[in-house]
Copies of this chain bind each other. A is one copy, B any other.
Amino acid sequence: MAKRHRHLQRRPKSTNALNKAPGTVAYVGRKESAEIKVEVIDYNKVNYERFIFDNVEATFKFENEEKITWINVDGLSNTAEIEKLGKYYKLHPLIIEDIVNTNQRPKIDEYQDYLFIVAKMLYHKENGILEHEHISIVIGKDHVLTFQEADGDVFNAVRERLTNSKGRLRNSGPDYLVFALLDAIIDNYFVVIEEISDKIETLEEQLFTAQPNDDITFEIQELKRTVLRIRRAVFPLREVISRLEKIDSTLIQEKTLNYIRDLYDHIIQVSENIEIYREMTWGLMDMYMTTISNKMNEVMKVLTIMASIFIPLTFMAGIYGMNFEYMPELQWKYSYYVLWGFMILVFIGMILYFKRKKWL
Contact = CB atoms under 8 A, between A and B. Distances in A.
A103 to B, nearest CB: 7
A259 interface: yes
Contact of A105 (B13, B218, B268): B268
A228 to B, nearest CB: 5
A329 B104 CA distance: 81
Interface of A: 1, 6, 8-11, 13, 15, 18-23, 92, 94, 97-98, 103-105, 107, 109, 156-157, 160-161, 167-169, 179-180, 183, 187-188, 190-191, 194, 197, 201, 204-205, 207-208, 211-214, 217-218, 220-221, 224-225, 228-229, 232, 258-259, 261-262, 265, 268-269, 272-273, 276-277, 279-280, 283, 285-297, 299-304, 306-308, 310-315, 317-327, 329-331, 333-336, 339, 358-359
Contacts of A333: 325-326
Contact of A11 (B92, B190, B327): B190
User: Secondary structure at chain A's binding surface: helix, strand, loop or mixed?
Assistant: helix
Contact of A205 (B1, B11, B288, B317): B1
14 contacts: A8-B197, A15-B157, A92-B258, A204-B218, A220-B287, A221-B287, A288-B290, A289-B293, A299-B359, A311-B311, A324-B330, A324-B336, A325-B333, A327-B336
B285 A214 contact: no
A303 B307 contact: yes
A329 B322 CA distance: 11
A275 B204 CA distance: 25
B276 A232 contact: yes
Nearest to A12: B190
Contact of A19 (B157, B179, B299): B157
Contacts of A6: 201
Nearest to A189: B11
A276 B289 CA distance: 23
A315 B310 contact: yes
Contact of A300 (B105, B194, B214, B304): B304
A348 B295 CA distance: 23
B307 A336 contact: no
A334 B19 CA distance: 81
A226 to B, nearest CB: 11
A19 to B, nearest CB: 3
A105 B270 CA distance: 11
A318 to B, nearest CB: 3
Contact of A212 (B197, B294, B339): B294
Contacts of A322: 317, 320-321, 323, 336, 339
Given A23-B259, A299-B359, A313-B318, 12 more contacts: A8-B273, A104-B269, A208-B214, A224-B283, A225-B280, A283-B285, A289-B293, A311-B311, A320-B324, A322-B323, A322-B336, A326-B335
